[in-house]
Structure 1
Amino acid sequence: MPPPPFPLPPGATGFFPPHAPLPETDPRTFRTALYTAARAARGRVDEVEDHVHPRTYRTGTVIHPAGRTVVLGHLHHPWIAFVPERRDAYADEFLSPPPWADVFSAAGFLVLTGDQLSVPLAGEASSGLTPFEWRQAVYHGTATLGGAVFNTWD
């Protein structure tokens, strides 16, 4: 299993790090990349949902010849993940990027793999989390990197 491409920075879970506001990703960039990806997949966009509190991500569903793929776009970092269905919480349901995922990379996003997001929430990958974020992870029973990054903690 390949390691994640980064240690999670403080605030990756959507909770503000001390004395610093979280960055915001542009919803228009996500939406544009989503529609471009749907065209590349010879499909269409079915649903787009921007931020719904307390989610740390926005979603879009691409209907394509092979089926349906839900795209998660992190609100605070330019990270993209793929899942089979819309849910309020994710643990290890992350998919490998589809062939059309390179559209998101070209738009400036970091496309994460299912293997990277399924890494246990421990060690170097999660070393940047604040003590508060760790308490939230424990409280919500989050055990994977993807579950911590794409969450609905409140």
Structure 2
Amino acid sequence: MKLPPGATGFGTDSRQSKKDLQDLAAVCHHAARRTGGAVAELIPLGATPNFHTATITYPDDRIAVLRHGLLPWLALAKPTRPGQAPRDWLDRTELAEAIGEVSDLRILTRDELLQPLGSADLADLAAAEIKQIAYWRPTTVGDLLFNLWD
């Protein structure tokens, strides 16, 4: 997988960030209605984490929809406690299809997120991002893209 500049989330524009959170909320409310769930929580990105989170609840499940702070990418994961990075990536076809009805955001698959970082193409990342990767030592693409680095 080739990672574009900004993959680590450094350099987030707060004005764009607010719009991205509003867009995520709208997308998730639509997807939740279509799949029998409800949006229970919206958490904006900050210095950490580098992603917005919307939690969709179902009678027997909860799914976190993560929106990268710079890239037009989403990931689905089991919700975590505040201050914990996502680890349990999910593929949910019905939810992904409902999101795709109203958004052109790319939904990363579980396999993409679990790809070892050593096999990813980092050539387009800025020197500052490479330095952060060397410091934090993420092991997978998901660890790099959706992080709590400060």
In 2: Cα distance, 1:110 partner to 1:54 partner: 22
Whichever residue aligns with residue 144 of structure 2, its letter is A
Q: CA RMSD in A?
A: 2.3
Is residue 41–residue 100 contact of structure 1 (8 Å, CA) maintained in 2?
Answer: yes
Give 3-state SS (helix, strand or coil) of 2:118's partner.
coil
Which residue matches 1:143?
A: 139
TM-score by length of 2: 0.83
Is 1:103 the equivalent of 2:98?
A: yes
Give 3-state SS (helix, strand or coil) of 1:100's partner.
helix
TM-score by length of 1: 0.81
In 1: Cα distance, 2:125 partner to 2:15 partner: 16
CA offset at residue 65 of structure 1? 3.4
Give identity over the alignment, percent.
30
Is residue 75–residue 107 contact of structure 2 (8 Å, CA) maintained in 1?
Answer: yes
CA offset at residue 31 of structure 1? 0.6
Structure 2 residues without counterparts, runs of 5 or longer: none
Give 3-state SS (helix, strand or coil) of 2:89's partner.
coil
Is residue 137–residue 143 contact of structure 1 (8 Å, CA) maintained in 2?
Answer: no
Decide which moves more: 69-78 or 115-124: 115-124
Tell me which protein shows more helix as a share of its residues.
2
| Structure 2 counterpart of 1:47, from 19, 41, 44 | 41
Structure 1 residues without counterparts, runs of 5 or longer: none
CA offset at residue 22 of structure 1? 9.9
Is residue 92–residue 114 contact of structure 1 (8 Å, CA) maintained in 2?
Answer: no
- Paired residue total: 145
The runs of at least 4 consecutive aligned structure 1 residues that moved more than 3 Å come to: 21-25, 87-92
Is residue 59–residue 73 contact of structure 1 (8 Å, CA) maintained in 2?
Answer: yes
